[in-house]
Amino acid sequence: MNTPPRQQPDTPGRLASAGDARDFIAVDDGGDFSYYRSEHDLLAAFEYAAEAACILDREGTAYRLMVDPDRRLVLGRSLGPVEYHWLKNAWWNAQTAHSEEHRLRRFPAESAAELIADLFEVLALDEGIAPAQRQWSLLIGSATSHPRDLKEINRRLSHQRALDHVRIQDPFGHVYRAARHRTHRLLPAVAAAILYLEIHAFPPPAPRATSRKDDGRQ
* Tens-level pLDDT at each residue, the chain (218 residues): 454 544 333 333 444 544 457 999 999 999 999 999 999 999 999 999 999 999 999 999 999 999 999 999 999 999 999 999 999 999 999 999 999 999 999 999 999 999 999 999 999 999 999 998 899 999 999 999 999 999 999 999 988 888 999 999 999 999 999 999 765 555 555 557 899 999 997 665 565 554 444 444 44
Residue 191 lies in a domain: yes
Same domain, 2 and 96: yes
Same domain, 3 and 94: yes
Asked whether the beta carbons of 138 and 147 are under 8 A apart, the reply is: yes
60 φ/ψ sector (left φ>0, alpha ψ -120 to 50, else beta): left
DSSP line for 8-65: PTT----BPPTT----EEEEETTS-EEEESSHHHHHHT-SSGGGEEEEE-TT-EEEEE
DSSP line for 124-141: HHHTT---TT---EEEET
- Residue 191's pLDDT is what? 56
Same domain, 3 and 88: yes
Residue 20 lies in a domain: yes
Q: Is the overall model pTM greater than 0.85, yes or no?
A: no
Same domain, 27 and 84: yes
How many domains does one find in the chain? 2
SS3 call for 119: helix
- Residue 132's pLDDT is what? 86
Same domain, 152 and 85: no
Name the maximum alpha-carbon separation found in the chain: 87
52 pairs with which residues across the strands? 28
Q: Which of 133, 150, 140 lies closest to 204, judged by CA?
A: 140
- Residue 133's pLDDT is what? 86
- Residue 201's pLDDT is what? 73
SS3 call for 74: strand
- Residue 43's pLDDT is what? 97
